[in-house]
Structure 1
Amino acid sequence: MSEHLHPRSRIVSDALRAAGIPGQIVVLPDAASTAALAAAALGIEVGAIANSLVFWSDGEPLLVMTSGAHRVDTAALAERLGRGSITRASVDQVREATGQAIGGVAPTGHPAPLVTVVDEDLAGFEEIWAAGGTPHTVFPLTFDQLVALTGGRVLPVV
């Protein structure tokens, strides 16, 4: 089935399989490059979308998996992590760190593991959905699977 996916989504699919996560990548008919668009396409609450946001902090990329209902408070998160400032990564930094384009960044399938924070509020959903490597692809997983998949640190992000 993954042979029909975009190459970036195949990489994500392979990483999910390797991690023992059964969720299959779903190809959406229209791009879902925002949490609101993805939630509408899937018929779910926007909060159940696990947004993959790439920031730059202390000279390295930082992946924040946040609920689609939240806006990351970068100053508060930097303080919680004991870091200097946290700023949005540039388009080029996102591509270099993840191998994926903004609007389709998955929590896995990157060239190298990224330091990751997982929004604690995603735990309130039985099933969450994340991007599958392109703006047209998504996949389901549980909060515990997301934390295990990313090796992320669970924190409030707002």
Structure 2
Amino acid sequence: MSLVSVKAHFKQWNRDGDVMEFETSSATVDEAAKTIGVLPARIAKTISFRGAEEKAILIVAAGDAKVDNKKFRLKFGFKPRMLTPDEVLEQTGHAIGGVCPFGLKNDLEVYLDVSMQRFETVFPACGSTNSAIELTKDELFQYSSAIEWLDVCKGWEEEQILSNVSQQLEV
């Protein structure tokens, strides 16, 4: 059902045909990267947290990023607490492994982390454990009805620095 709601969501932009479905799992960042054939960092993972008034908030971040508790607390004013798998399904309509900011069961706040801005395109899931779509940063912002780009993650900067150093050494 979840994949159906995501395809219906993308139909308004005539992008439902761009949803990719795979024979193999894309439920984790590593599985999705291997299945699609891209760096794990280009997988746009959606993480759900308890928000205000029993509503979840969704943070979409690069596959190599981790939520930084301090940055999160400074931005939102409370400690980040991830939802249980049952709560994720109840709030988003998507099961773990297919969670995305599209075709949501409830009207949830969606935020995009700056960790994804280093890529032209990223690959978020599409509601199932074997689906994804390639989107530009602007498309991801528009199609997810994101509130804003924010900086609440860590870990990816180190990867970016190592990549830059590696590229410079090759020159």
On the 8 A contact 1:9/1:25 being kept in 2, the answer is no
Distance 1:23 1:156 in 2: 32
Provide the identity percentage: 25
User: What SS class does the counterpart of residue 91 from structure 2 fall into?
Assistant: helix
- Residues 17 and 78 of structure 1, relative CA distance in 2, 3 Å threshold: farther
Distance 1:74 1:109 in 2: 28
* Equivalent residue for 1:63, pick from 58, 61, 86: 58
- Residues 156 and 20 of structure 1, relative CA distance in 2, 3 Å threshold: farther
* Equivalent residue for 1:143, pick from 137, 145, 148: 137
On the 8 A contact 1:98/1:105 being kept in 2, the answer is yes
On the 8 A contact 1:74/1:87 being kept in 2, the answer is no
Normalised TM-score (structure 1): 0.88
On the 8 A contact 1:33/1:135 being kept in 2, the answer is yes
* Equivalent residue for 1:32, pick from 26, 42, 52: 26
Alignment of 1:127 onto 2:102: no
Alignment of 1:114 onto 2:108: yes
Deviations 1:6-62 (A, max 9, x none): x32121011112145476111111111111110111111111111011111333201
Deviations 1:47-95 (A, max 9, x none): 11110111113332010101001111133112123x2222010111100
User: What SS class does the counterpart of residue 128 from structure 1 fall into?
Assistant: strand
What is the one-letter code of the residue matched to 1:142? T
On the 8 A contact 2:113/2:150 being kept in 1, the answer is yes
Distance 2:121 2:140 in 1: 10
Partner of 2:86: 92
Partner of 1:43: 37
User: What SS class does the counterpart of residue 140 from structure 2 fall into?
Assistant: helix
On the 8 A contact 2:8/2:16 being kept in 1, the answer is no
Give the unaligned 5+ runs of structure 1: 1-6
Distance 2:141 2:152 in 1: 15
